[in-house]
Amino acid sequence: MTLVSPSVVQSVRAASRQLVREFGFLDKAIAGTDLSGSGVHAILEIGLNPGLTAKDLSARLKLEKSTISRLLKSLERRGDIEQTRSTSDGRAFGLSLTEKGQLTYSEIDRFGNNQAQDALSRLSGENPENVAKAMSSYAEALQGSDADREAVQTKYPIVEGYQTGMIGDIAAMHARTHGPIVGMGATFESVVSASMAEFMPRIGNPLNNSWSVLDGSEVIGSISIDGEHLGNNTAHLRWFILSERLRGKGLGKSLLKCALEHCDRHAFDEIHLWTLKGLEAARALYETNGFDLAEEYVGDQWGKAVTEQKFIRKRQ
């Protein structure tokens, strides 16, 4: 493996963030459509690969099965796609674009081509072919990191239920991660600890559960579903946190998958979560998995005024 200087790494990361912004992925709709980023990519993949199955699409977009199911239902309701039972496998359905979907595909494709053509034509002192080759090589290198993620998830298993010491471990991670935002001190950590102490005796009730990433006996990542706290057949997603050294390796997605599958099994009408504004990686993960921003307000319950956000995922 090639050792890369920190300055190059930071430059690539900065360029990647700018690409995300310029492509419009921070907006709710992109590519000149009213579709989300996942919707645009789904239309493109189905248009380029007629007959693609939902399982294939899940692998290509790196989205969970439940998320793909919700996405396909929304595209069917729009009239952009249709599903036809496979002639070779009666259990599978092939995906194809409708006439309306073909128009949507053409609009997206034209938008993307124009965007790329305009940017490439403004390059100064760079060969467009070299830029294309470099971007392709970088994308392939990112894809190759899947094996690394699998190794990490083997090394750090996800376990279910209460773990000895998890209240202290999780409260400490929250305090160290969010302290700079909400203000360092005892207030935030005390509130997290107290709310977890109230929940843990109820963790064995059928509607509730928790999943943790372990490093030996230490909890270094966790997520919980409180199915009783909010009532009205609404689940409360709580204390989602992952040690900084393990971020970007797929463990956060795996934890969220456990929580969402639990909620789907119990057929909650909605899942609610509260978070702090500015945690963009977390927000992207939530929105990719069907959560929508429902409310934003300034609160000072932690001892310092911060902007809090409420996200909701509704059952389809």
| Residues 72-129 pLDDT 10s | 888 999 999 998 876 655 566 788 899 999 999 899 989 888 888 888 888 877 788 8
Same domain, 115 and 45: yes
At 302, is the pLDDT very low, low, confident or very high (cuts 50, 70, 90)?
low
* 139 in a structural domain: no
* 143 in a structural domain: no
Query: What pLDDT digit, counting tens, does each position of 30-86 carry?
Result: 877 888 888 889 899 898 888 888 888 887 887 877 788 888 888 999 999 998 876
Same domain, 164 and 112: no
Query: CA 258, CA 153: separation in Å to the nearest integer?
Result: 14
Same domain, 168 and 304: yes
* 172 in a structural domain: yes
Burial 21-58 (b: 16+ CB within 10 A, else e): eeebeeeeebbeeebbbbbbbbbbebbeeeebbbebbb
Q: Which of 93, 39, 35, 40 is nearest to 67 (CA)?
A: 39
Same domain, 116 and 187: no
* 146 in a structural domain: no
Domain closes at, from 123, 143, 174? 123
Place of tokens 């409310």: 295
Same domain, 307 and 204: yes
CB count in 10 Å sphere of residue 139: 10
CATH number at residue 198: 3.40.630.30
Query: CA 293, CA 313: separation in Å to the nearest integer?
Result: 9
Q: Is the pTM of this model over 0.85?
A: no
Residue 63, Cα to own-chain centre: how many angstroms? 8
In total, how many domains does the chain have?
2
Query: CA 220, CA 240: separation in Å to the nearest integer?
Result: 11
Same domain, 160 and 274: yes
Residue 214 φ/ψ, nearest 5 degrees: -110, 140
End-to-end CA distance of the chain: 45
**Cβ-contact 99, 82 below 8 angstroms:** no
**DSSP-derived secondary structure for 38-97:** HHHHHHHHHHHSTTEEHHHHHHHHT--HHHHHHHHHHHHHHTSEEEEE-SS-TT-EEEEE
| Residues in Cβ contact with 55 at an 8 Å cutoff, skipping those fewer than 6 apart | 65, 92
Q: Which of 208, 210, 222 is nearest to 169 (CA)?
A: 222
Q: Rounded to the nearest 10 degrees, what angle do helices 251-265 and 146-155 cross at?
A: 70
* 205 in a structural domain: yes
* 264 in a structural domain: yes
Residue 217 φ/ψ, nearest 5 degrees: -105, 0
* 300 in a structural domain: yes
Is the pLDDT score of 143 beyond 70? no
Same domain, 257 and 173: yes
pLDDT of residue 272: 97
pLDDT of residue 148: 59
Burial 289-307 (b: 16+ CB within 10 A, else e): bbbeeeeeeeeeebeeebe
Query: CA 217, CA 166: separation in Å to the nearest integer?
Result: 9
Same domain, 161 and 291: yes
- Measured on CA atoms in the order 268, 188, 213, 4, is the torsion positive or negative? positive
Is the pLDDT score of 183 beyond 70? no
Range of the domain at 11: 6-123
Same domain, 60 and 190: no
Average pLDDT, the chain: 84
Place of tokens 């392939």: 140
Burial status of residue 162 (CB atoms within 10 A of its CB: 0-12, 13-18, 19 or more): middle
Same domain, 22 and 102: yes
Same domain, 91 and 177: no
Stated length of the chain = 316
Radius of gyration of the chain (CA): 22
Same domain, 170 and 247: yes
* 38 in a structural domain: yes
Is the pLDDT score of 144 beyond 60? no
Q: What are the tokens at 157?
A: 């298993």
